[in-house]
Amino acid sequence: MTSEARAGTSRPPQVLRGMRDFLPQQMLLRQEIIERFQTVFERYGFEPIDTPLLEYYEVLAGKYGEEGEKLMYHFQDHGGREVGLRYDLTVPLARFVAAHRHELTFPFKRYHIGPVFRAERPQRGRYRQFWQCDVDTVGTRSMLADAEVVSIWIEALASVNLPNVVIQLNHRQLLQALATHAGVAAEQALTVYRAIDKLEKIGPEGVREEMLRHGIAEAAAQAVLDLVQLRGEPGPVLAEVRARLTGDPQAEAAVSDLLELLRYLDLLGVDPRRYTLNLALARGLDYYTGPVFEAVVEEPAIGSLGGAGRYDGLIGMFLGEEIPATGGSLGLERIVEVVQELQLLHVPTTVSQALVTVFDDQHWGVALRLTQQLRAGGINAEVYLGERRDLRRQIQYADRKGIPVVLFCGPDELARGMVTVRELTTGIQHQVPEAELAATLRRLLAARPQ
Ligand code: AMP
């Protein structure tokens, strides 16, 4: 211990960059959002699973592309094994399916909500430990599985009152076909995807410059830009793409996937204002093979709220046999930030619904009896635990925490066989017989404005 630490003047211990503590109030909002997502996921028949935070490095290696590889937390454990912290929930799912395929019922629909780790440069909405909320369907090529993800996202985001969310759709093979059609060499295709993915951020001129800088020919760069900037209703845009890329089998397959996906969205009754085609959407991760989607909000501009897509080859990397799969990942942190900034959800500041005050040491019996009675009646109740117990201090405690109801059971109340129940926000008091306490509180709490 340094002399500074001994003297008590050292700085408080820091958390690692890009990692955060959460106070109870923040946790309550996060939990509320997670619960709402879970409800929507389960409504579509998705079931929860969990996987370890730490995986063998070889499970994670080679799945996320060059960029991902650089950002992965990777080290040797105490036994000298190469291990990595999970980078997303999709690759662990692929490993999980390979490991448990005989215990699962296919098509297998799972959801998974938990932390993942990436050594990124921290900034707003970008952390090194963050939570993802994933839904995936494994074992079907049906575009209905992809359409369900879009529909679930729209419902999940609506369940936390997020306005103006739009799901952008594209197809990896369509991108490939566009690049080939434009005359881009196969080995330069990834460079082109990366450049056009930034179209919204840096504009067509920026994208052109980036392509030229990477050695793409002027004419090819222009042809790519012409194609990816097609805008309008998804149906007519796809018809136009089909006409321009006529005869290209990859483009044909991609367009018919997207048309099928759109048809299912229509059959599911998904509001067409909530999704759009964006031919410039590439999505960073390497493992996507089919439709890709991204959820964005117009305001505040916080980047993508979720990324999704079909990855028919990933499970095969573990199993040697291809099992098709599709799914999406909503990023919790950015959603929490938008919900907080726009005050979209009103979550209580404390879980406590009632504080039972203690008059003095002679009144522990009644105070604890009442507290236990409330708990048994389904009310979150606490008894004041501080050592200095004047009533003013106890009320202040409830007030600071935002506990809505405070109970008094002193000598006056005992003499009358009643309990005094005070609603803190209004100051209104009720005299309630002990036997009716839980029922009365339930009624009072239910009547409070949300
Ligand atoms: P990805 O797995 O890269 O497709 O990302 C899926 C979603 O996770 C994104 O849309 C973001 O909402 C969220 N996300 C990705 N990286 C971060 C990060 N470093 N910090 C917070 N959220 C992130």
Residue 55, H or E segment: strand 54-56
Q: Which residues contact 57 (CB under 8 A, 6 or more apart)?
A: 74, 82, 83, 84
Which residues, in sequence order, are bridge partners of residue 84? 55, 74
234 CA → ligand 1 middle, Å: 26
Query: Does pLDDT of 1 surpass 60?
Result: no
Q: Which residues contact 424 (CB under 8 A, 6 or more apart)?
A: 395, 398, 399, 403, 404, 405, 406
d(CA 403, CA 382): 10
Binned at pLDDT 50, 70 and 90, residue 188 comes out as confident
The number of angstroms, rounded, from the C-alpha of 445 to the middle of its chain's C-alpha atoms is 30
Nearest CA to ligand 1 atom 1: 307
In eight-state DSSP terms, residue 15 is P
Query: Does pLDDT of 30 surpass 80?
Result: yes
Q: Which residues contact 263 (CB under 8 A, 6 or more apart)?
A: none
- What atom in ligand 1 is closest to the CA of residue 308? 4
Contact 292, 269 (CB under 8 A): no
Q: Is 87 in a helix, a strand, or coil?
A: coil
112 CA → ligand 1 middle, Å: 15
The CA distances from residue 73 to 66, 119, 192, 197, in Å, are 14, 7, 28, 25
Contact 163, 341 (CB under 8 A): no
332 CA → ligand 1 middle, Å: 8
- The per-residue pLDDT for range 281-335, each reduced to its tens digit, is 988 767 899 999 999 987 777 878 999 999 999 999 999 899 999 999 999 999 9
Query: Does pLDDT of 426 surpass 70?
Result: yes
In terms of pLDDT, which residue wins out, 330 or 245?
Answer: 330
Nearest CA to ligand 1 atom 19: 126
437 CA → ligand 1 middle, Å: 47
d(CA 142, CA 147): 9
- In the chain, the N- to C-terminal Cα span, in Å, equals 50
- The per-residue pLDDT for range 351-394, each reduced to its tens digit, is 999 999 999 999 999 999 999 999 999 999 999 999 988 999 99
Q: What is the pLDDT of residue 12?
A: 86
14 CA → ligand 1 middle, Å: 24
List, in sequence order, the alpha helices (H) in 186-331. Answer: 189-196, 199-213, 218-228, 234-244, 249-267, 316-319
Binned at pLDDT 50, 70 and 90, residue 26 comes out as very high
57-61, 62-66, 319-323, 333-337: range with lowest mean pLDDT: 62-66
Any residues with Cβ below 6 Å from ligand 1, and which?
A: 88, 118, 120, 125-127, 130, 132, 284-285, 304-307, 329, 331, 333-334
Average pLDDT over residues 71-100: 97
Max Cα separation, the chain?
93
Contact 420, 430 (CB under 8 A): yes
Give the residue from 186, 187, 216, 185 showing the smallest Cα distance to 196: 216
- What atom in ligand 1 is closest to the CA of residue 87? 2
Residue positions counted in the chain:
450
Nearest CA to ligand 1 atom 5: 307
Nearest CA to ligand 1 atom 13: 331
Q: Is 221 in a helix, a strand, or coil?
A: helix
132 CA → ligand 1 middle, Å: 7
Instruction: Output the pTM of the full model.
Output: 0.92
Contact 445, 381 (CB under 8 A): no
Contact 34, 336 (CB under 8 A): no
d(CA 150, CA 153): 5
CATH code, residues 354-447: 3.40.50.800
Q: What is the pLDDT of residue 285?
A: 67
Binned at pLDDT 50, 70 and 90, residue 252 comes out as very high
Query: Does pLDDT of 276 surpass 50?
Result: yes
Token pair listed for 5: 């630490």
- What atom in ligand 1 is closest to the CA of residue 126? 20
What are the residue ranges spanned by the domains of the chain? 24-191+218-341, 354-447
Give the residue from 68, 58, 61, 114 showing the smallest Cα distance to 285: 68
d(CA 220, CA 212): 9
Q: Is 449 exposed, middle or buried (0-12, 13-18, 19+ CB in 10 A)?
A: exposed
Token pair listed for 56: 């063998």
Q: Do domains 24-191+218-341 and 354-447 have the same CATH topology?
A: no
Contact 152, 44 (CB under 8 A): yes
d(CA 212, CA 160): 43
d(CA 289, CA 175): 11
Give the residue from 181, 180, 175 showing the smallest Cα distance to 195: 175
Class of domain 24-191+218-341: alpha beta
- The half-sphere exposure of 261 on its side-chain side, counting CA atoms within 13 A, is 32
Token pair listed for 205: 């001129």
pLDDT over 70, % of the chain: 98
Token pair listed for 361: 């040491």
